[in-house]
Amino acid sequence: MPHTPSRRAVLRGVAITGAVVMGFDTGTRSWATTASGSGSGSGLARVPALDGTLVMDDASLSAASDDYGHIVHRRPVAVLRPGSVRDVVAMVRFCNTHRLPVAPRGQGHATNGQAQVEGGLVVETATLADIGPVGPHSTTVTVGAGARWSEVAEAALAHGLTPPVFTDYLELSVGGTLSVGGFGGMTHRHGAQVDNVTGLQVVTGAGEFTDCSPTRHPDLFHAVLAGLGQCAIVVGATLRLVRAPETVRHYLLPYDDLETFLDDQRLLVQEERFAYVEGQVSADADGVFRVLTLEAAAYGPPAGPAPDDAVLLRGLRHDPAGVERTDRPYYDFLDRIAPSVEALKKAGLWTYAHPWLNLLLPGRAAAAVTGDLLDALTPGDVGPGIVLVYPVLRERLTTPLLRTPDDPVPYLFAVLRTTPPEDTATVDRLLAANRSAYEAAAAVGGTQYPVGSIPFTRADWRTHFGSAWPRLAAAKRSYDPCGILVPGQGVF
Ligand SMILES: Cc1cc2nc3c(=O)[nH]c(=O)nc-3n(C[C@H](O)[C@H](O)[C@H](O)COP(=O)(O)OP(=O)(O)OC[C@H]3O[C@@H](n4cnc5c(N)ncnc54)[C@H](O)[C@@H]3O)c2cc1C
């Protein structure tokens, strides 16, 4: 991103709401307003008229300088709350003209400054959240990029339908998860969320509104899904829908041996015995990470047969004495972590630092690598966070930019660390531990799932994208020729 004198001049002169031009007085270092029409005469760069608002107040800029990681802070000069897609087009063009960096921000749940932009424009997509229409026979629904998955689920469920894949936490934006991938316990059946998109409406880095799909501008479509916001801002997405179950039978199955646990998980996803398979590892009373819980869910009618314990649990090697089984409505199952989130918020832990580690390991090395990483882990390294391990099926993951190990059954391994943000020495130590873990994973053909906080160089990104790099780089040149989009990812 060129940091030119002209860019500085624009930063001093950003402006506007309606007929009033706002300008920045460099002498007093404060914002001032002038009547519309006098902007150009006063040397201020005139911002286009908007349907929504462009805000520059301290609270909005501070909020946009933070995220769920609470580690990285980059301050934009303005935040756009678009009233329309036209606003996004107009402001991206404005930013192109003046070489201002831009980042869309959904719910700000990235952990490493990915949606932040120093001295640029943050586009908050929350105002672009229309959903629908959906009817009982819909096979897709088109939603605004700022819609949260909880809202999409509720709208679809009103007609007995559902997107096939959800993340564990539903309050993430559609645009935010489609820019990274979107994994969940259903991924072994249906791929990631990006694999269940039939069309996208985007504003490219050059400020062009474009509809794209696997057959319409496919290069753009494939550069946007899991493309970390590098080529375009998603403003709308058409998502696949399937029949939803009314109820779900949810199991927690305890294991005491890592290899047995991983093998049973693999068996379940290869057999597709359950609709959903995940797993957690927690520390025992001695602080050793060896309490293993396989989490599985079977969908009942009309999405599946009435669940039968004997059939579902046949041959599994968990401790039968510790099985927890609940039948619950489908939405309650999807939203199952909501009570824990509320408790974390109440306890003030939601605003702790989250130097997360998210890896994808080749199945052939999963036991060895997770074994080593878990052996080295202490309760202090995780805090009130959790450790997740679960397999996916590679044949279901078809999005080129969602990089996964070359193995039929990769495992997602995530250490969702939670630690006081003011203890920067610990945060730095955990970031360094993330890097070491990434290197151990990469040495056996693993990748990172890029939602966490692993120190990563541009060269690492090239390695990460591997054979997909030339196409991503070409799409970047075509669709974001001035290189203004999403510098916080550090890819280009
Ligand atoms: C509590 C919690 C639980 C999670 N659980 C899961 C899980 O189960 N599975 C999983 O896969 N992930 C999970 N994640 C990770 C999450 O999917 C990603 O961090 C996701 O990007 C966050 O969405 P967001 O709306 O907050 O995006 P933001 O943090 O706002 O943005 C993330 C990145 O996407 C870009 N972006 C945002 N909107 C757009 C857009 N409209 N167009 C183009 N680029 C855009 C941003 O510029 C930024 O680079 C979880 C995160 C949290 C905090």
What's the CA-to-centroid distance between 179 and ligand 1, angstroms? 7
Band of pLDDT at residue 321, cut at 50, 70 and 90: very high
Q: Among residues 491, 483, 478, which one has the least CA distance to residue 95?
A: 483
The mean pLDDT value for 62-91 works out to: 97
The count of other CB atoms within 10 Å of the CB of residue 165 is 28
Quote the ligand 1 centre to 110 CA distance (angstroms). 5
Q: Is the CB of 201 under 6 A from ligand 1?
A: no
Quick check: bond before 2 cis, omega within 30?
Answer: no
Question: 272 and 188 in contact (C-beta within 8 Å)?
Answer: yes
Element (H, E) at 246: none
Tokens of 361: 């390991």
Question: Six-digit token pair at 485?
Answer: 């989009």
Where does the pLDDT of residue 44 fall: very low under 50, low under 70, confident under 90, or very high at 90 and above?
Answer: low
Task: Return the pLDDT at 10.
Answer: 40
28-42 residue pLDDT tens: 433 445 544 444 445
Give the model confidence (pLDDT) of 220-240 as tens digits: 999 999 999 999 999 999 999
Tokens 């009435």 found at: 306
Contact 178, 151 (CB under 8 A): no
Å from CA of 93 to ligand 1 middle: 25
- pLDDT over 50 (residue 356): yes
Same domain, residue pair 175 and 91: no
- The SS3 of residue 130 is coil
Rounded to the nearest angstrom, the distance between the alpha carbon of 417 and the centre of ligand 1 is 17
Instruction: Check if the beta carbon of residue 172 is closer than 8 Å to that of residue 250.
Output: no
279 and 363 housed in the same domain: yes
Whole-number Å distance, alpha carbon 451 to ligand 1 midpoint, is 7
Residue 260 pLDDT greater than 60, yes or no: yes
Please, what's the largest Cα pairwise distance for the chain? 79
pLDDT band at 47 (very low <50, low <70, confident <90, very high): confident
pLDDT of 345 strictly over 60: yes
**Does the pLDDT value for residue 168 go beyond 60?**
yes
Count of C-beta atoms within a 10 Å radius of residue 315: 8
Q: Which residue out of 74, 169, 212 has the highest number of ligand 1 atoms within 8 Å of its CB and is therefore the one to mutate? A: 169
Query: Is it the case that residue 277 has pLDDT exceeding 60?
Result: yes
- The DSSP bridge partners found for residue 23 are 32
Pocket lining: 107 vs ligand 1, CB cutoff 6 Å:
yes
359 in the same domain as 266: yes
Mean pLDDT for 365-394 is: 97
What is the Å distance from ligand 1's center to 175 Cα?
8
Find out whether the beta carbon of 182 lies less than 6 Å from any atom of ligand 1: yes
- What's 325's domain CATH number? 3.40.462.10
Q: How confident is the model at residue 46 (pLDDT cuts 50, 70, 90)?
A: confident
Residue nearest to atom 51 of ligand 1 (CA): 109
User: Which residues lie below 8 Å from residue 57, measured CB to CB, with a gap of 6+?
Assistant: none
Are both 274 and 195 inside the same structural domain?
A: no
| 402 and 267 fall within a common domain | yes
284 located within any domain? yes
Q: Is the dihedral of CA 456, 461, 465, 467 positive or negative?
A: negative
The DSSP element (H or E) to which 360 belongs, if any, is strand 357-361
Mean pLDDT of 165-172: 98
**Region 366-389: what's the mean pLDDT?**
97
pLDDT tops 80 at residue 26: no
pLDDT of residue 42: 55
- Name the residue range of residue 374's domain: 247-457
Structural domain includes residue 83:
yes
> Mutate which of 79, 174, 180 to test ligand 1's pocket (most atoms within 8 Å of Cβ)?
180
Find out whether the beta carbon of 102 lies less than 6 Å from any atom of ligand 1.
no
Higher pLDDT, 71 or 17: 71
pLDDT above 50: residue 364: yes
**Would residue 12 count as lying in a domain?**
yes
| Same domain flag for 257 and 321 | yes
pLDDT of residue 43: 55
Question: Using a 6 Å cutoff on CB, does residue 234 contact ligand 1?
Answer: yes
Beta bridge partners of 173: 148
- In Å, how far are 12, 42, 98 from 5, measured between CA atoms? 11, 18, 10
Q: How far is the CA of 197 from the centre of ligand 1 (A)?
A: 16
For residues 256 and 238, membership in a common domain is answered with: no
Q: Is a pLDDT exceeding 90 seen at residue 348?
A: yes
**Residues 188, 326 within the same domain:** no
Other Cβ atoms closer than 10 A to 135: 10
Q: Range with the lowest mean pLDDT among 11-15, 19-23, 148-152, 441-445? A: 11-15
Residue 439 lies in a domain: yes
Cβ neighbourhood burial of 491 (10 Å; 0-12, 13-18, 19+): buried
- Please indicate, yes or no, whether residues 88 and 185 belong to a single structural domain of this protein: no
CATH code of the domain in which 480 resides: 3.30.465.10
Atom of ligand 1 nearest to the CA of 68: 53
Show the 3-state SS of 284-323. Answer: CCCCCEEEEEEEEEEECCCCCCCCCHHHHHCCCCCCHHHC
Residue 145 lies in a domain: yes
User: In the chain, how many domains are there?
Assistant: 3
134 lies in some domain: no
The proportion of the chain whose per-residue pLDDT surpasses 70, expressed as a percent, equals 91
CA 30 / ligand 1 centre spacing (Å): 33
Pocket of ligand 1 contains residue 113 by CB under 6 Å: no
- Burial readout 176-206 (b: 16 or more C-beta within 10 A, e: otherwise): bbbbbbbbbbbbbbbbbbbbbbebbbbbbbb
Using alpha carbons, select from 358, 355, 353 the residue that is nearest to residue 438: 358
Distance (Å) from CA 356 to ligand 1 centroid: 13
> Is 75's pLDDT higher than 70?
yes
Mean pLDDT lowest for which of 24-33, 105-114, 316-325? 24-33
Which of the four pLDDT bands, split at 50, 70 and 90, describes residue 20?
very low
| Bond prior to 487 in cis (omega within 30° of 0) | no
Q: How far is Cα 287 from Cα 376, in angstroms, rounded to an integer?
A: 11
Res 34: pLDDT:
55
**Do both 353 and 215 map to the same domain?**
no
Hey, what are 327's tokens?
Answer: 């039948």
Structure tokens at 281: 């590892």
Does residue 291 share a domain with residue 197?
A: no
- For residue 12, give Cα distances in angstroms to 26, 27, 47, 117, 208: 7, 11, 12, 16, 26
Asked if residue 327 and residue 427 are part of one domain, the reply reads: yes
Mean pLDDT of the chain: 92
181 lines ligand 1 (CB under 6 A): yes
Kindly state the tokens that stand for 98: 């003046």
